[in-house]
């Protein structure tokens, strides 16, 4: 069974700190990885995607992929209270559906 695992949290960080969200996946054939943010009562919205090993930066967000360890992470620098949400990790490959993790709840406190 293909799985994506995330710590459910909550992960609590102070405003201005770095939030580190982690995800592991079981399918070595996965080729693409996505981080979605979901506010309570809202639908998921894409934050970042990453296909290659290493880091990918976009503003305050950095996605990290290590295919050898089957590990994906999302770093949020200078965390803001507005970043408080559930972050969903997903893996995909080819024409198959994305496999989503259950999400990590992030709470940024002032």
Partner 1 sequence: GAGVSQSPSNKVTEKGKDVELRCDPISGHTALYWYRQSLGQGLEFLIYFQGNSAPDKSGLPSDRFSAERTGGSVSTLTIQRTQQEDSAVYLCASSSRQASDTQYFGPGTRLTVL
Which residue ranges make up the site for partner 1 (CB under 8 A)? 31-32, 34, 36, 42-46, 49, 88, 92-103
CB of 102 to partner 1, least distance (A): 4
Least Å distance between CB 21 and partner 1? Answer: 14
Question: Which residue number, 83 or 87, has a Cβ lying nearer to partner 1?
Answer: 87
**∠ CA 58-110-71, rounded to 5°:** 40
CB of 22 to partner 1, least distance (A): 15
What's the chain's Rg over C-alpha atoms? 13
Closer CB to partner 1, 44 or 73, in the complex: 44
The DSSP secondary structure of 63-110, one letter per residue, reads: EEEETTTTEEEEEESS--GGG-EEEEEEEE-TTSPPEE---EEEEEE-
For partner 1, the closer CB: 28 or 78:
28
């Amino acid at each position: 069974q293909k799985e994506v695992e995330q710590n459910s949290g909550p992960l609590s960080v102070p405003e201005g700190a770095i939030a580190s969200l982690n995800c592991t996946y079981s399918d070595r054939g996965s080729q693409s990885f996505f981080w979605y943010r979901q506010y309570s009562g809202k639908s998921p919205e894409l934050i970042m995607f990453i296909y290659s090993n290493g880091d990918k930066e976009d503003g305050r967000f950095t996605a990290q992929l290590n295919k050898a360890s089957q590990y994906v992470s999302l770093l949020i620098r200078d965390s803001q209270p507005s970043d408080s949400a559930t972050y969903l990790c997903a893996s995909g490959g080819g024409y198959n559906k994305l496999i989503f993790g259950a999400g990590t709840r992030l709470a940024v406190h002032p």
